[in-house]
Amino acid sequence: MSKQSITVRSLIEMKSAGEKISVLTSYDASFTRLIEAAGIEVILVGDSLGMVIQGQESTLPVTLDEMIYHTRNVARARQSVLLIADMPFMSYRTPGLAMESAGRLMKEGGAHMVKLEGGANQLEAIRQISSQGIPVCGHLGLLPQSVHKLGGYRVQGREQQDASQIREDARLLQEAGVDLLVLECVPDSLAAQISSDLTIPVIGIGAGVQCDGQVLVLYDMLGMNPHPPRFVKDFLQSGRTIQEALQAYADAVKEGSFPAKEHSFK
């Protein structure tokens, strides 16, 4: 018998109860089954597939059709997890295109929610998508699709002005209809403030332990990245099986032992 499905409301209830939310990326059916067996609540089909699956230098070359393909693979295998799909680079450059791209990820890919990067510049696109009953996940801090403009993969929000802008953007995203927010590579104190400010759940990646949940790229937490970012922990170490590593990650997020100080930024 299938477990009860995780929904947007489920995540809000978890935040209210102080229960941490565990999130991992997946791109295929086989890993999806293992992730779900570990009790992880949310799967993100990330445009990170451009780097970890396709061998690209960034996420930028990933197409909408490729995102739909991988989302559909995950959707076929999932039973209870909430399924989020990234909207790839340039697939939401206008509100009309954003709505069309989001609709395809939901209808053809089987996603339950779509994720896009950016702050105040994306408010109209978010309003348009949300108005059609499509749940939206925002993404602030380090924005991989803007890596060339940012000058590389760097921590964001260390300067007071930048921190204030990220905090304000988070507020505006929530007002525009975002149901979930990912904060990537920001100081842990800033992430804690934003998590407290918002009523929607905040999921961190390199954003400290005080977020409402954590997300990692699957291949990173399995130790398959030869140059892992500082915020990554290898959960496959010590002779664990893949299933044991996934369970260890889920448990560490729930217990609040991951991320530790060495995985966070000041």
Which residues are known catalytic residues?
Answer: 184
67 within 8 A of 73, measured Cβ to Cβ: no
25, 182 in Cβ contact below 8 A?
Answer: no
Structure tokens at 243: 């299933």
DSSP-derived secondary structure for 227-246: S--TT---TT-TT--HHHHH
DSSP type of residue 2: P
- Whether 229 and 64 have beta carbons less than 8 Å apart is answered as no
Which spans in 108-205 are helix H? 123-131, 147-150, 160-176, 188-197
